[in-house]
Amino acid sequence: MLDSFRAKFIILSIIVAISGFSQGMLLPLIAYIFEHRAIDASISGIHASGLYIGVFLSALFIEVPLRKYGYRKLIVAGGLIVSLALLAFPILDGIIFWFILRLIVGVADNALHFSTQTWLTDTTPRHKIGRVIAFYGLFFSAGFMIGPKVSELVEIAEPLPFIVSGVLTMLAWPLIFLLKGAKDEKPSDNGVPISFISTLVNFKNVLKSSWVVFLFPLMFGVLEGSLHTNFPVYGLREGLEYADITWILPAFSFGAILFQIPIGALGDKIGRPILVSILLLLGGSVFILLEFVKSSLPMYIVLFALAGACLGSMYSLGITYMTDITPRFNLPAGNLMAGIFFSVGSISGPVLGGTLIDASNGTSYFIFFSIIVVILFICNVLFIWRRKILSEEFKERMEREHESSTHNY
């Protein structure tokens, strides 16, 4: 049995890496299969949303069982269900069956992901939160990067990538039993009775104090969902080979991995608000450049890596940004809201991207991302400005009250 924080961090990171691997494999794999079955890009995009609809639905009720049963039971349940669902894909072939399986994977994967993420944010010292969550995000990104390459096994046998992913997931989640005391660990309690209504109240409080931080998981969801679902279709129509696409997509995750730790540490030093603004400006510029790249594999790889370096850390930055400004007892609700916004972005990204590709024949696909990034930059600047004004007003009020009490004395 292992009982150190480092052991917990390593095991949770391995589990989430396999989770990222499964997602990274599933999105381009099914998009490729559907394209070869002559299914429209818009339908493929809507179908891909099944995974994130599951994430969204589970986020509405998952806080109650987490607080009641603890981290370990939810991780075990989520890991087991994801494993079985992945292994069921080759058996239950068909658009409707696969949509249902994607939905199930989304629900179970969010239970696993939410439990590991909340466990870390609740137990990590505040001065280390940026680096710890950056490493955690790095493991997810590493799994997500490897996923598309493993999806190439479809050219050997269609069921093979599903089987590989299912078996790896089945091997990963039992590692949780190595952690000493994990059976009894639960989130911090705020003294409020656990119910669906209390979850909604927590959602309201978190949104009121920290609304802007959830836009970054939203944007990351749009990017992840659309790039891994729509770009294979876009690339094939632009004349790229599927083998080329499986090199381009991991480049985004590679860029994220390369800079995830430095960005997390830099956020601890200079502050998340300023860092996020800089990265958004740089990332938006990269997507504008991508609009002018046509069928050039080296340029695609380089620019995708740069986009990943700038924007691939937005989910983990959003989480740490949220942790900075949210009371500890509301962290489960904050993590849930991040998951909800991520799933909304992941649902809308493939649908909007697929519709845009069909309607415009692929033109302006990357401008779509640039516009989203610019909107988020403006929102973050306004949020920083508003918090600064409120902070100054509070400081002035406290000074006046202090002067008044001193004068009366």
Q: What is the pLDDT of residues 113-169, one digit of tens each?
A: 888 888 877 777 767 777 777 788 788 878 888 888 888 888 888 889 899 989 988
Burial zone of 78 (CB within 10 Å; 0-12 exposed, 13-18 middle, 19+ buried)? buried
Q: Is the pTM of this model over 0.85?
A: no
pLDDT at 62: 80
In whole angstroms, give the CA distance from residue 30 to residue 53. 17
pLDDT of res. 184: 66
Mean pLDDT of 196-203: 73
Residue type, 393: E
Please state which CATH class domain 5-401 belongs to: mainly alpha
Query: What is the reported pLDDT for 219?
Result: 92
Task: Give residue 194's pLDDT band: very low, low, confident or very high (50, 70, 90).
Answer: low
Measure the N-to-C terminal CA separation of the chain; round to a whole number of Å: 60
pLDDT-wise least confident of 107-111, 367-371, 388-392: 388-392
Query: What is the C-alpha separation between 143 and 292, in angstroms, rounded?
Result: 29
Q: What is the Cα–Cα distance from 352 to 349, expressed in whole angstroms? A: 5
Residue 278 pLDDT class (50, 70, 90 cuts): very high
Question: Is 147 within 8 Å of 21 (Cβ atoms)?
Answer: yes
Confidence check: pLDDT of 306 > 90: yes
Residues 6+ apart with CB under 8 A from 102: 26, 30, 47, 48, 50, 51, 54
Q: Which of 35-49, 79-93, 342-356, 362-376 has the lowest mean pLDDT?
A: 35-49
How many helices (H) does the chain have, and how many strands (E)?
15, 0
> Could you identify the residue written with the tokens 């005391």?
181
Q: Nearest CA to 167 among 24, 341, 18, 38?
A: 18
* pLDDT attached to residue 344: 85
Place of tokens 């079985």: 84
pLDDT at 302 over 90: yes
pLDDT band at 407 (very low <50, low <70, confident <90, very high): low
d(CA 270, CA 283): 19
Helices (H), 238-296: 242-270, 272-290
Query: Among 43-52, 99-108, 275-284, which is the least confidently predicted range?
Result: 43-52
Q: Which residues pair with 179 in a beta bridge?
A: 2
Give the model's pLDDT for residue 390: 61
Dump pLDDT digits (tens) for 47-89: 877 887 888 888 777 877 887 777 888 888 988 999 999 999 9
Here the tokens at position 397 are: 């009020």
Q: What is the mean pLDDT of the chain?
A: 81
Looking at residue 265, what is its pLDDT?
Answer: 80
Question: Taking a C-beta distance cutoff of 8 angstroms, is the pair 187, 66 a contact?
Answer: yes
8 Å CB contact between 334 and 245: no
Chain length of the chain: 409
The separation between CA 86 and the C-alpha centre of its own chain, rounded to angstroms, equals 20
